[in-house]
Chains A and B, each alone.
Chain A
């Protein structure tokens, strides 16, 4: 290995790490396209870095609730009400947990700032209470703030979906979509600014996109409290979006948020920041010096102007308000006729179809603006009093149309109307439950499915749906009972039920294994295998359980089963090798390790 090769490898590893931080696990063969002789060595080093990645994880503080389990193995619960189920994000300032409100029985997000990062818990609580009063459709609602010991916490709605940051990496939005989202965020900011709250930490990770494609702003006030505490050690993710005045430590007002949103807009439209460097010290200098010119070639001139205005170094040169920023963006959107037409076309088609249906039923639809042309709108009566109101069947048809068009809220309203007209309509309950599932409201779907089951107990599909909802809530006991009940009803196609059951047993096994209940976990995996005997992953999973129970012979037999079903996966051989090693069969172990190594090299 020459010195030049070592240099190249170091550069390639840095590149690999950057890609990995963006969620891409680039194979060595891709990275070494121009240097194929380094592929094997790079593969080995990437593997080594993956193994040692635990060194990069932050350590739990002594008095932070960072341990998912209490000494008894149960998830920690704050003030006997909020159960912390899964750590979903962790930054320098706080952790965010997917939690469960035991009192109101709903999934919530719980943000727990690290006590060491808070100068004053009282000041933080006061700020959090002020933020909790913000009520706007574009702001993630805060349900509660509280304190337990040294820990403060904020409980807010759990938004299913991902952040704009995730979208930018995995599924970049179209230009019109990006503009709409940024305009929605600007609307929310305008409301907050009018209420005297400056966000101070606008960045893609704090903009959540829900299942309906709406942008919601999260983490109000958190940054402010952090800054009050004099924290200079901001993460790179935050630094990229900071305004020059924030970096210079000057007084910050709403126009700092507009600047940050300008950076987000630039990134959403072009896929890159308006700066040339990501190296913190250079980046700081670039931000303070001011963005020279937005020069993205594929950005229309008007958009460039709006973006440039938001990114002015002098706050006085920026948009005077977030509302003005939003209005300019929307005007820009309005000028983009071809794209807009493309985006509204499906809506027009649906409108025409519904109009045709209503014309067929009621005669000519009424004029626009008069009860939406006679369309049966949920919660309203049709416009023409001479026409008979829609029947349950019509609401069902409308619900189905909306459901098929992915308009789940509207569909749910139609099914509610159908239920109002016929409270024993099992299909309406089942469909409304499915709408709720699509909207991420698993908890809300269960009563609907339950009602449907009472009305129509032999519908295996509804049992399966309820099993799915319970499973999504990690209520594996009821989920498995429902799944087994569905199977007993002998559905025409049992495959989806068996598939679901296998996953439910496997997930419960994973939970139990995490709590070191390996024997029960192994039994669950056995059940999973009963429903899906071909999956190698279950053999691997049960083998791991047996290994932990020190039943190495049985573990080795299971890893052999996994190898039989998936002979090219290195980890099966590695694990079986470890079993042989524990049994003192060193030749067999060596052979398996060798095979694993060869497969990894491939």
Chain B
């Protein structure tokens, strides 16, 4: 099946959104495709240590759920700007990931009894994790995504654009209409708050 064109820049996205607003179905598909591509990447990362679940999720549940949710959101909410689209898409993607983490890590979940230390923390042979290091299990990912939701609005928006939507820092600064320096400061501040939050919650 032919894929909709890839979305490569915010200018293209704005163009797609304009076309979508005027009822262009192809633009609608391209926007969905962009969001699903990000979801695919993030899911792969989250399910890295769970090959069986990963295979299953990629072929069935994730895409269908994501498509349905995003389709509903785009149909019901008036998406008027690139910024609005990215925020909306990021929220949907994050919720989907959170649900997946909870679902599979719950007592009956396929990942609950699957332990993995798959990712060595250093390249010499050992996996010894800091609380805010890249999660290596679904529980960790669930905590991470939940922690992101607690960030202040302007920092959450930066995490949405850079992490969930995969924009470069330059692109994100442009979408938000702030200087590159401001963007970098917000990103650093968000990472520091995530670090603090994840450690605090883990200790608590």
Contacts and interface: CB of A to CB of B under 8 A. Distances in A.
A59 B41 contact: yes
B122 interface: yes
B149 interface: no
Q: Which interface residue of B8, B134, B194 has the most chain A CB atoms within 10 A?
A: B8
B106 interface: no
Contact of B188 (A17, A235, A540): A17
The secondary structure that dominates the A interface is helix
Which of under 10, 10 to 19, 20 to 34, or 35 or more describes the interface residues of B? Answer: 35 or more
Given A58-B166, A62-B37, A280-B180, A547 B126 contact: yes
Contacts of A521: 125
Interface string A562-578: 00000000000011001
B51 interface: yes
Nearest to B129: A578
A542 B128 CA distance: 12
A506 B124 contact: yes
Contact of B168 (A10, A60, A92, A525): A92
A404 interface: no
Interface string A228-265: 01111101100000000000000000000000000000
A514 B168 contact: no
Interface in B145-204: 162-163, 166, 168, 170-171, 173, 179-181, 184-185, 188-189, 191-192, 194-196
A274 to B, nearest CB: 20
A60 B41 contact: yes
A523 to B, nearest CB: 12
A14 interface: yes
B118 interface: yes
Most buried by A among B9, B44, B162, B188: B188
B133 interface: yes
Contact of A60 (B6, B44, B180, B191): B44
Interface residues of A, number: 54
B181 A279 contact: yes
B88 interface: no
A62 B126 contact: no
B117 interface: yes
Given A60-B45, A233-B9, A541 B124 contact: yes
B194 A52 contact: yes
Interface in B96-133: 117-118, 120-130, 132-133
Interface of B: 5-6, 8-12, 37-38, 40-42, 44-45, 51, 58, 117-118, 120-130, 132-134, 162-163, 166, 168, 170-171, 173, 179-181, 184-185, 188-189, 191-192, 194-196
A551 interface: no
Interface of A: 10, 13-14, 17, 45, 48-49, 51-52, 54-55, 58-62, 71, 92, 115-117, 119, 229-233, 235-236, 279-281, 506, 509-510, 512-514, 516, 518, 521, 525, 537, 540-545, 547-548, 574-575, 578
Given A60-B44, A71-B51, A230-B8, A545 B191 contact: no
B42 A232 contact: no
B61 to A, nearest CB: 15
A62 B188 contact: no
Given A52-B195, A279-B181, A59 B42 contact: yes
B180 A279 contact: yes
Contacts of A279: 179-181
Contact of A541 (B117, B126, B168, B188): B126
A116 B8 contact: yes
B136 to A, nearest CB: 11
Contact of B6 (A117, A280, A548): A117
Contact of B134 (A48, A54, A116, A280): A54
Contacts of A574: 128
Contact of B184 (A14, A229, A547): A14
Contacts of B168: 92, 233, 235
Contacts of B185: 10, 14
30 contacts: A14-B185, A14-B188, A48-B132, A48-B195, A48-B196, A51-B132, A51-B133, A52-B132, A54-B133, A55-B163, A62-B58, A117-B6, A117-B8, A231-B8, A232-B8, A232-B11, A233-B171, A281-B179, A509-B125, A512-B125, A513-B125, A541-B125, A544-B124, A544-B125, A544-B126, A545-B126, A547-B128, A548-B117, A574-B128, A578-B129
